[in-house]
Amino acid sequence: MLNAHTVDVVREAEGALMARSPEGALMRRAAAGLAVECVRLLPSVYGARVVLMVGSGDNGGDALYAGADLARRGAMVRALTAGSRVHEAGAAALRAAGGRVRDFTGSDADGSDLFGADLIVDGLLGIGGRGGLRELHAGLAAQAANAPAPVVAVDLPSGVDADTGEVTGHAVRADLTVTFGTHKPGLFVDPGSARAGRVRLVDTGLVPELPGADVLRPQAVDIARLLPRPGAEADKYRRGVLAVRAGSDRFRGAAVLAVGGALRTGVGMVRYGGPERAMDQVLARWPEAVAVPLDPRRSTGLGLGRAAAAVVGSGRGTDPGEADELDAVLDSDVPVLVDADGLTLMSGEDGRDLADRVRERAAPTLLTPHAGELARLLGDVERKDVEARRLEHARRAARSFGCAVLLKGTTTVIAHPDAPTVVNPTGTPLLASAGTGDVLSGVVGALLASGAPVVEAALCGAYLHGRAAHLARGGAPVSASDLLDGLPLAVAEAHRAGRIRGRGPRRGRAGRCR
């Protein structure tokens, strides 16, 4: 897992490390790592034109020292300072190495410095920056965005909130971010992550000073370790039975997609219950499913029967009968995933009892909203607020409902009251099409039925879902049905990553919340 820590935690850890280190040692380590990454981006260092955008903080000092290193190797380095002060020792080091330093006032903003560069280094703001870029910095950021040279951000792109990923107004858009000591949450979460480009971590010796991570981001090897694997004595019941309550006469495709997502992820059995026309379509596509007619608007027997987990809500409808069904499913003692129409029922005028049912459950519950659905569940925010501060609102919902929350999006966030927040790295705009959420419900439901703890099931499901979108058609546009072909490829890819890294099926510690 990649770890991320908040600004306050990083500051405290840096203070402890600096108290035991020679003066300036931490900055020199960071600058040396930054210079190495800059060298990797340049076809040739000698004669390369490097422009540093330098602010008043320590990130400006990092950029200046790195620039001095590049200048000693023969690069032509120019620093444009745009702050109330400049890191004097760093500026002196750059001048001594043959670089140039001049003030950027905005009146000379013809862009000639940046447009003639081979590499641009963003050292305007540090991790303490809040509230977007001021006018002078915004002018430089705009020039950098229009310049042809690649942009390297120091620690994180200026204008991105390090703790939340929020972007207020202008922000630098980097091709590469070189971050120090530990990752910052804002590098993992949109909209900040979209401006970070590729991220490289420079080890500055900070790790021994850090507590547990605030945010985790899994890699393929983590997924391989966490995925449930059937043993030699497994049968269909030991592998898990998933109850799927999705689809309706109007939205029959939701049932087909949810069932398919579960079967293609690997589950012992899917028990589908739904209206007859939806059931017929499920069996026509997935004859291995066990299906029974069940119309929640007319049936009284809404219990789950013999199931290890349940998925409910996708394309189901929002009539009172569907609310009764959701109530009956939540009354069970197995893990339950609530999606789509189930979330709408919870957020409606009569949804208080259903929300309380979620809060009172002893068994795990996972809510899987997109930003608009989460805004309705919370009741006092708009979709744009959720999208701007995804970590904050996913965590708030997890605390409010006392359960796991998977907030869908290009950076899917998984929050739980008793575990670190997890951010999925495989999100893609390819998934922004109808029905893909139904597939995700089936994928995660299969993992829950197979015995994975709720956070692990959510993070593995989101990871596989994103990889399936890439693998199904080689990166070309996909439909939700295409994901069903990509899922086995994604599972196989994750298992290969585990074998390459020499890891066995040992379970991890990402989220042991049940």
Task: Answer whether 0.85 is exceeded by the pTM.
Answer: yes
> How high is the pLDDT of residue 151?
98
| DSSP H or E segment with residue 245 | strand 241-245
Q: Which residues of the chain form CATH 3.40.1190.20?
A: 220-500
Listing DSSP states for 67-81 in one string gives HHHHHHTT-EEEEEE
Residue 278 has a pLDDT of 96
Query: Residue 294: beta bridge partners?
Result: none
| Pair of tokens at residue 342 | 């189930």
Question: What is the pLDDT tens value at each position of the chain, 514 positions in all?
Answer: 999 999 999 999 999 999 999 988 999 999 999 999 999 999 999 999 999 999 988 999 999 999 999 999 999 999 999 978 899 999 999 999 999 999 987 765 556 789 999 999 999 998 987 777 888 899 899 999 999 999 999 999 999 999 999 998 889 999 999 999 999 999 999 999 999 999 999 999 999 999 999 999 999 999 999 998 887 778 787 889 999 999 999 999 999 999 999 999 999 999 999 999 999 999 999 999 999 999 888 777 787 878 999 999 999 999 998 999 999 999 999 999 999 999 999 998 777 899 999 999 999 999 999 999 999 999 999 999 999 999 999 999 999 999 999 999 989 999 999 999 999 999 999 999 999 999 999 999 999 999 999 999 999 999 999 999 999 999 999 999 999 999 999 999 999 988 876 544 444 445 556 5
Q: What is the pLDDT of residue 514?
A: 58
pLDDT at 465: 98
Closest-CA residue to 212 (of 6, 452, 462): 6
Structure confidence at residue 513 (pLDDT): 63
List Cβ neighbours of 130 (8 Å cut-off, separation of 6 or more): 161
2-216 to CATH, choices 3.20.20.70, 3.20.19.10, 3.40.50.970, 3.40.50.10260: 3.40.50.10260
Q: Most distant CA pair in the chain: distance in Å? A: 83
pLDDT confidence of residue 98: 97
pLDDT of residue 505: 44
Residue 512 has a pLDDT of: 58
The set of residues, in sequence order, having a beta carbon less than 8 Å from that of 110 and lying 6+ positions away, is: none
Q: Where in the chain is the domain with CATH 3.40.50.10260?
A: 2-216
- Whether 121 and 154 have beta carbons less than 8 Å apart is answered as yes
The pLDDT of residue 504 is 45
Q: Could you give the CA distance from residue 194 to residue 185 in angstroms, rounded to a whole number? A: 13
pLDDT of 299 reads 76
pLDDT at 51: 97
Specify whether the CB–CB gap between 153 and 167 falls below 8 A: no
Q: Are 407 and 329 in contact (CB under 8 A)?
A: no
Ordered DSSP codes for 416-480:
ETTEEEEE-S---GGG-STTHHHHHHHHHHHHHHTT--HHHHHHHHHHHHHHHHHHHTTTS---H
* Class for the domain spanning 220-500: alpha beta
Q: What distance in Å separates the CA atoms of residue 117 and residue 199, rounded to the nearest whole number?
A: 22
